[in-house]
Structure 1
Amino acid sequence: MTIKRDITWRVGVIYLALVMLAAYVIVKVVYLQVAEGSEWRAMEAKMTSKEREIEANRGNILACDGRKLACSVPSYRLYMDVVADGLTDEVFYQNIDSLSYCLSVFFKDLSPKGYKRRLVEARRKKSRYFRIHNRRVSYTELKKIKQFPLFRLGKNKGGFIPEQLDMRKKPFGILASRVIGKLYEEKEKGGMIGLERAFNQELKGENGINTFTRISGRWVPEEVVSPQNGNDVMTSIDIEIQDVAENSLKQQLIKHNAHHGVAILMEVETGAIKAIVNLHRKSEGFYIEDYFNYAIGEATEPGSTFKLASMMAVLEDGLINLDDTIDTGNGVIKFYDRTMRDSHYGGFGKITYREVFEKSSNVGISKMIVDNYKSRPKRFIDRLYAMGLNKKHGLEIKGEDEPYIKYPGSDSWSGVSLPWISIGYESELTPLQTLAFYNAVANNGKMMKPYFVTGVYRHGELVKEYQPKVLNPSISSLSTIEKVHDLLVGVVERGTATNLKNNNYKIAGKTGTAQIAKGRDGYKNGGVEYQASFAGYFPADRPKYSCIVVVNGPSNNVYYGNVVAGSVFKQIADRVYATGFDMVQEYARREPGEGVLPYSKGGKKSDLLTVFDKLRVTVDGSEVESEWISTLAQEHKVSFSQKTFKNGLVPNVAGMGAKDAVTLLENAGLNVIVSGRGRVIEQSISPGSRLKRGVRIFIKLG
């Protein structure tokens, strides 16, 4: 009985222990499932699957003809898993000498022994991600490196791991680089400045996600979400004009040892910016573009270019006639405790208001404004405000500076404010704001919003188009516009900018020379530097482009606007006029007058012969053997001549109908976009330019 009771007691203890253990296990399982379940499931997922973000390709920023101003170029960092699963000691040591030799020859920084020492040491330390070299390599270099010993065996057997990193490149170097902008070093932040920032959302695209699942000890990729690459942004920038503007301005800045300079070219009808240059002196004779966007971000006292607004105010209010006279005396006048002088020593005496503007007389302009607005200064300032001179333009690019024109009654208004504002002081405008004002005069009073981007494209298809926008339909009456237009032409023909006069086309514009405050000292203690400028448009009789050039801080004792800034304006205008067939061939495109019939566009010979046969028109030159024909309308007949197109060059389709122009350009391999009706009056890529197949070309009919 004693033995039986002992056995029963022991079995009971064991049974109780098992029951308690079972209860503990059940409680623990429930606890793990409920309380810590999510944590353990996450750990399981981490051990069996992982995600990697697939970076989207950033879109390109394009010039108006489709050429790339900024694009992403792949580059690679080189790593090596020196203890990869398939990389045995035998394979490693058999190939290490030849691999070290190839790396030494390629990078030219260490000896073969140096590379071998580093690789052997990395294997000893069991490095799984050893960086072979700090330098990034291009795709073509990567292809060559992949053929090196060991690396040609791949990732598992050779341990080679190239890591792709996209680099933002500007194929045209510094051209328009400040407006194009740049990215933050941290890619996820995107654009830092310029168009890269303004259109970051369109350019960046959307990253994808790649999920890896662990199967039989190996990570197997499973792509879940594909990346959506960024869209392309097409700008209004003409790279040829940009190049001319950049080089012309740089030469002048170097010549006059200036601190910085700006040049902007705008299309009159639309407000599209065709070129914009911001050059800053880094050291003597060396200027950089990527420093500060002075064109839109620096508002300064404009000086004499502002006299156009003063003249428009008195003309719009009907207070003067241009042929009336005013006495400017000896070129010196005093307003309260301040003295104003003309740059012409001895003054101009008694001259007309027309001559006051053409000769840029400070005394004449200020006296004119004070005589007419002294008792009602608000009327003058309100007139300037009505022209939109106190308003920002709302540019796509961030950083536009606020324009400033004092208003009567403000704390800073004084008795000398009115005369000094009239000649471009005690007020501030950016170069682009000044240009938009001059552009409005060229555009018959319609002020257009300056813009840099014409459209957003995805895989060559237009996603979003940016149309010209009117800021002010009429800054003044048409009669005032016509009068000041004549004044601006007179400045070049007879006034302060006769050095810009030429026999090919007329320029309308105004010189400006201003003393601006320098640094914190303002105008005190010699804290003054000069600003030379010229603003205007061309051809004056049919304005196509407006332009402004501003040079700050010329320091070689030459600072007048006509010499320092005007010469750059003329170089830009000459080049644009010479290459702009729509202006050069203006007379060639005009329909003949009475007695010169019939008139015809050029086109296919077969089509023209059919039409002229039906009309019973005499054709001279029908024997010409050419598919494409140029026509010349004479008094009683039409002469045919061969229209030639050089291989590899963009053909000239000026004067053709839409059908023939599109056929010819598409046969040449170009993508054609047509606007308007009639014959071709403009093509976006200049005739004779080197042909690049697949590039987009815009043709305008009219």
Structure 2
Amino acid sequence: MKHELAGRLGLVYLVVIGIAVLIVVQALYVQVWKGDELRKQVQNVSRKDFTVAPIRGNIYADDGRILASSVPYYSLRFDCVAVADTLFKRKVDSLAICLSRFFGDAPASEYRQKLWKGKYGAKANRYLLINKKKISYTELMKVKKFPIFRERGTRSGLILERENVRLQPHRDLAYRTVGYLNEAEDGTFEGRVGLEGAFEKQLRGVPGRSYRQMMSGRWISVTVDEPIDGNDVVTTINVDCQDIVQGALTRQLEHYKANAGTAILMDVKTGDIKAIANVSKTATGYREVLNNAIGDAAEPGSVIKAATMVALLEDGYVLPTDTIDLGKGIYTHNGVTLRESRTPIGKVTVQSIFERSLNGITELVYEHYREQPEKFVNRLYAMGLNRKVGIDIVGEAEPYIKYPTDKSWSGTSLRWMSFGYELQVTPLQVLAFYNALANDGKKMKPRIVKEIREGSRVIERFEPEVAMNKICSKQTLAYMRQMMEGVVENGTAKNLKNAACKIAGKTGTAKVAAGKKGYKAEPKYRASFVGYFPADKPLYSCIVVVDNPSTSVGYYGNVVSGNVFREIADKVYSMASLMRHDEQEEEIDQTLPISQNGLKDDFLAIYDELGIDVTDEAGNADWVMTSRDKEGKEFELKARSVDFSVVPNVKGMGLRDALYLLENSGLKVGVSGAGTVSSQSLTPGQRVQKGSYVGIVLK
């Protein structure tokens, strides 16, 4: 009996030991051989890894206004398990109705079904996507007031995934120059064009890492590596100038039914690009598509005659007062005949050839360079016309100016190049040359970015850069400026003569070749005007190019592009004058008692009460500007004209007077602050569009 019992116990021991061994072996197997795989499976269930995107840097205009910024948007997800059953069943219908009304893409029944399935389906969903649409922060505040979502903490079940969306507050202004983001292979977005592309490295920042871990029935966010936000880019673009330039160009393209157009405004002294517009016709209207200003190298036509004339003057072959007999205005060489648009011509001066944009300039070039064509081309090279200007945006086209040793050089090349054919340059490259003529011969590298900032700290500054100290002699420069002023006073651009300031420049109307058909196909034209203003003390240079305007409406450069130039010059010059005037007022006001611009009778009553001496130079004017004399002993009143057809300048006025002028101009006014008007959102002097909004800030 004892032996039988001992045998049974031994068997039990053996079984227990066997089971223990199996457990140990299985534990070792799970821990050692299958451990990593199982741990990953657990993590996949209870942990979600995320890349934390950095906030992309802003792109600013020259005055600090934002051209592009990253704004947070949110994806809505729902942890169905975190919400108590009683709360869910009581509020799910109300939540579904709110979601249906908010997104407007599905009935409440569909949202209820999605939520119910997420909670009571075969497998509860702890990460249910409510809607694919991402919502703004303002919209999020509304969503957080919905039933269930308004509960505190994790009981709401609401899970937010933040994503930064790139927005341009000024909509289409300089859209192609500012650039945009494209989706990369890894699903992130990166800049590839415009400033977004050129400064991608500075703007993008460094991504961080985080994960959401399921702990105690709720998701906990854990940051592993903090993201490093991108730096900001401060440009030279002026929003007001960009609005003027782009608006004027777009309206002209619409009027002339043109295919595309480009306009660039540049600060003469610094080379700063204050505005750059590239507008093309699309199926939905005119908008920015391609950056033709820097990427479209084409035959420029007669605007290149300024470089041709510089070469002739520099080599001492002509003077503006020299005369030449162009006869009937028909020139035939190497079997090719060239005609003036109006014939005959007869005897004319060199200056008249330039002012009237006569193709007889080819006679001068042929006479002096036919035995040495390389000398003419070397002059163009010496002005830098064969080199890129080096703007900090990807995509600048290489200029093409052929040389006599090139295979494509022919017996007609010298003549055709002299008036803008058989060579290719971009609008910006042409403008950089004319800007040098306005800038005492100093050629500036076009600058579009001033600074890179990390918050308020400047980490890199781009100073104005001289590309060439002198493109020609002072005497040649004087002759050229005289002739370019003559273009407006006596020549092809007399329609610009009565602008707000004196304009100097050159017209161009180039015939565009149509592929293999060349110039024999249905005629297409490129109309141009390039120059600077004011002519006596240049502040800005500008080029306007319009491609393929309708020949039935008009296609000559002086009208199609020249009128755009004039509108730009009028408005920008007026704006610059107002700014200089305001700066002078501010400098004086700093040492004087506070005074407002407004109604004359009000000031006279106040000054009489205070015993302040007044010099009244306003005559019968109702509205006046106030200032102090040099000694600071008395006030001076000067007339302030008011034209209700344009946006009035209300800076320095009190609220009552400012409202009176703005509302009588047909504008809707928004007010912030207290005191006197320190700034207004609409530029003074521009035409009033009735019902437009203008914001004024008082300080």
Query: When the two structures are superposed, what TM-score results if normalisation uses the length of structure 1?
Result: 0.80
Q: Number of residues paired by the alignment?
A: 634
State whether residues 653 and 676 of structure 2, in contact with CA within 8 Å, keep that contact through their aligned partners in structure 1: no
**Secondary structure at the residue paired with 1:605?**
coil
The alpha-carbon distance between structure 1 residues 235 and 366, as it changes in their structure 2 partners (threshold 3 A), is same
Aligned partner (choices 157, 160, 184) of residue 159 of structure 1: 157
Aligned to 2:443: 447
Instruction: Give the Å deviation of 1:461.
Output: 2.8
Structure 2 distance, partners of 1:639, 1:693, is 26
State whether residues 330 and 347 of structure 1, in contact with CA within 8 Å, keep that contact through their aligned partners in structure 2: yes
**1:150-549 alignment to 2 at 5 Å?**
150-153=148-151, 156-186=154-184, 188-212=188-212, 215-216=215-216, 218-283=218-283, 286-289=285-288, 291-344=289-342, 346-362=343-359, 364-502=360-498, 504-518=500-514, 520-523=515-518, 526=521, 528-549=523-544
Structure 1 distance, partners of 2:106, 2:369, is 79
**Secondary structure at the residue paired with 1:384?**
helix
Letter in 2 for 1:395: I
Structure 2 distance, partners of 1:584, 1:103, is 54
The alpha-carbon distance between structure 1 residues 622 and 479, as it changes in their structure 2 partners (threshold 3 A), is farther
**Secondary structure at the residue paired with 1:321?**
coil
State whether residues 58 and 233 of structure 2, in contact with CA within 8 Å, keep that contact through their aligned partners in structure 1: yes
Letter in 2 for 1:164: R
The alpha-carbon distance between structure 1 residues 538 and 281, as it changes in their structure 2 partners (threshold 3 A), is same
Instruction: Give the Å deviation of 1:419.
Output: 0.4
Query: When the two structures are superposed, what TM-score results if normalisation uses the length of structure 2?
Result: 0.81
State whether residues 54 and 228 of structure 2, in contact with CA within 8 Å, keep that contact through their aligned partners in structure 1: yes
State whether residues 530 and 542 of structure 2, in contact with CA within 8 Å, keep that contact through their aligned partners in structure 1: yes
Structure 2 distance, partners of 1:40, 1:162, is 29
**1:534-613 alignment to 2 at 5 Å?**
534-557=529-552, 558-581=554-577, 603-605=590-592
The alpha-carbon distance between structure 1 residues 40 and 110, as it changes in their structure 2 partners (threshold 3 A), is closer
Residue deviations 1:455-509, cap 9 Å, x none?
Answer: 1222233222111111111111111111101010000000000000126421110
State whether residues 58 and 230 of structure 1, in contact with CA within 8 Å, keep that contact through their aligned partners in structure 2: yes
Aligned to 1:662: none
State whether residues 533 and 541 of structure 2, in contact with CA within 8 Å, keep that contact through their aligned partners in structure 1: yes
Instruction: Give the Å deviation of 1:381.
Output: 0.2
Structure 2 distance, partners of 1:551, 1:406, is 25
| Structure 1 stretches lacking a partner, 5+ long | 590-599, 608-620, 652-666, 672-683, 695-702
State whether residues 313 and 384 of structure 1, in contact with CA within 8 Å, keep that contact through their aligned partners in structure 2: yes
State whether residues 249 and 261 of structure 1, in contact with CA within 8 Å, keep that contact through their aligned partners in structure 2: yes
Aligned to 1:623: 612
Aligned to 2:665: none
State whether residues 303 and 508 of structure 2, in contact with CA within 8 Å, keep that contact through their aligned partners in structure 1: yes
State whether residues 655 and 677 of structure 2, in contact with CA within 8 Å, keep that contact through their aligned partners in structure 1: no
Instruction: Give the Å deviation of 1:69.
Output: 1.2
**Secondary structure at the residue paired with 1:172?**
coil
**Secondary structure at the residue paired with 2:262?**
strand
| Structure 2 stretches lacking a partner, 5+ long | 595-609, 615-624, 639-650, 659-674, 686-693
Percent identity, please.
41
Aligned to 2:58: 60
The alpha-carbon distance between structure 1 residues 84 and 31, as it changes in their structure 2 partners (threshold 3 A), is closer
The alpha-carbon distance between structure 1 residues 320 and 622, as it changes in their structure 2 partners (threshold 3 A), is farther
Structure 1 distance, partners of 2:462, 2:189, is 25
Structure 2 distance, partners of 1:20, 1:102, is 59
**Secondary structure at the residue paired with 2:436?**
helix
Letter in 1 for 2:367: D
**Secondary structure at the residue paired with 1:535?**
strand
Over the aligned positions, Cα root-mean-square deviation in angstroms equals 4.1
Letter in 2 for 1:371: E
Structure 1 distance, partners of 2:83, 2:23, is 46
Structure 2 distance, partners of 1:99, 1:49, is 28
Aligned to 2:652: 645
